[in-house]
């Protein structure tokens, strides 16, 4: 299967739930050795906007995704852990992202002198 998008919940239970949903909805996909699900571009709307979002909705009723450059991920993980921000890690197209409740305002965080660049955010 020639696919260009991948996704993985770091939490195994959530990732298995996603794989089950993909099977139930008849979405062509493959699962890599690291557990990442690969799917075709034509299935993006269903996979991302319905299936993945439905799992995120069960984790946090209102949520947002924080993505950052690879060299900043550890700094963000340390910050959110230190400040008690609940999160679930996701790999979106091999980039580490953090699913957090929407009530938090990451753009207001005082991250100090870190090797970070612009923070990306998506809310659901």
- The string of pLDDT tens digits covering residues 57-94 is 999 999 999 988 888 888 889 999 999 999 999 999 98
Predicted pLDDT of residue 75: 87
Q: What domain count does the chain have?
A: 2
What's the CA gap between 46 and 106, in Å, rounded? 28
Full-model pTM: 0.84
Pair (24, 55) in one structural domain: yes
* DSSP-H helix ranges across the chain: 12-24, 44, 53-59, 73-82
Pair (44, 80) in one structural domain: no
Angle at CA of residue 9, ends 8 and 14, nearest 5°: 125
Q: Which domain holds residue 55?
A: 5-59
pLDDT tens figures, 35-52: 999 999 999 999 999 999
For the segment 88-102, the average pLDDT, to the nearest whole number, is: 95
CATH code for the domain of 79: 3.30.70
Pair (67, 119) in one structural domain: yes
Pair (43, 69) in one structural domain: no
Pair (69, 45) in one structural domain: no
Does the structure show a pLDDT above 50 at 116? no
Token pair belonging to 35 = 């557990």
């Amino acid at each position: 299967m020639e696919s260009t998008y991948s996704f993985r919940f770091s939490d195994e239970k959530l990732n298995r739930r996603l794989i089950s949903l993909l099977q139930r909805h008849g979405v062509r996909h493959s699962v890599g050795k690291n557990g990442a699900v690969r799917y075709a571009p034509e299935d993006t709307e269903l996979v991302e906007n319905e299936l993945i979002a439905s799992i995120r909705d069960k984790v946090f009723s209102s949520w947002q995704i924080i993505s950052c450059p690879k060299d900043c991920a550890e700094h963000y993980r340390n910050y959110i852990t230190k400040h008690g921000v609940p999160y679930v890690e996701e790999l979106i197209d091999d980039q580490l992202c953090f699913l957090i409740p929407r009530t938090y305002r990451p753009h207001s965080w005082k991250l100090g002198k870190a090797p970070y660049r612009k923070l990306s955010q998506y809310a659901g």
